[in-house]
Homo-oligomer: A and B are copies of this chain.
Amino acid sequence: MNVAVKTEGESRQLKLRPLEAEAFAPFGQIVQPGEHPVPANGGTARRHDIGDVMVRLGEDSQLRLSIFDCEPQALPLRIDVLERHRLSAQTIAPMQAAEYLTIVCLSGPDGAPDLATAQAFECAPYQGVNYSPGVWHHGVVATERRSLFFLQSWQDGSPTDCEEINIPALLVTR
């Protein structure tokens, strides 16, 4: 992944790459069929286990289920805000969706996004993602057409769980 050095009045460029397990591993898990399914539903289905998300304990802990109905965005796409949930994983599963983007970034030592780690992944309609707690990410971006996504976020009940931050502009390109 190359991030061009930012200069005054110019956006860093972030090139799209396909969503692949090894590349996405620092940020979470891909929600897609794997290599080792097990029989399920009386032999009529194959179950692919993606992983277990550890639960944070809190009196007000809740799992929030939503649908995001997203208008398609044109490339190149300029982004200048990221969010993270320090205490909670967040899962996205495309429902009625075409290709879409997920843009992620790890934290630096000070907790702010370390833009040198930023990645923009192009996801197939059969691929979802599960962000690990604390991973900075941009809102899901449809590119081909209006798309529906199932999205759930873990709400631990504390106001500090959801953070948004402005960043120097990134220009996501093919």
Contacts and interface: CB of A to CB of B under 8 A. Distances in A.
A65 B91 contact: yes
Interface stretch (A17-25, A29-37, A113-121): A29-37
Given A40-B139, A69-B33, A55 B52 contact: no
Interface residues of A, number: 54
Given A45-B70, A47-B69, A55-B58, 5 more contacts: A31-B150, A44-B70, A44-B71, A55-B63, A65-B130
Contacts of A41: 68, 70, 139-141
Interface of A: 29, 31-33, 37, 40-42, 44-55, 57-58, 61-71, 73, 81, 89, 91, 93-96, 125-126, 128, 130, 139-141, 148, 150-152, 154-155
Given A55-B62, A95-B93, A126-B148, A50 B67 contact: yes
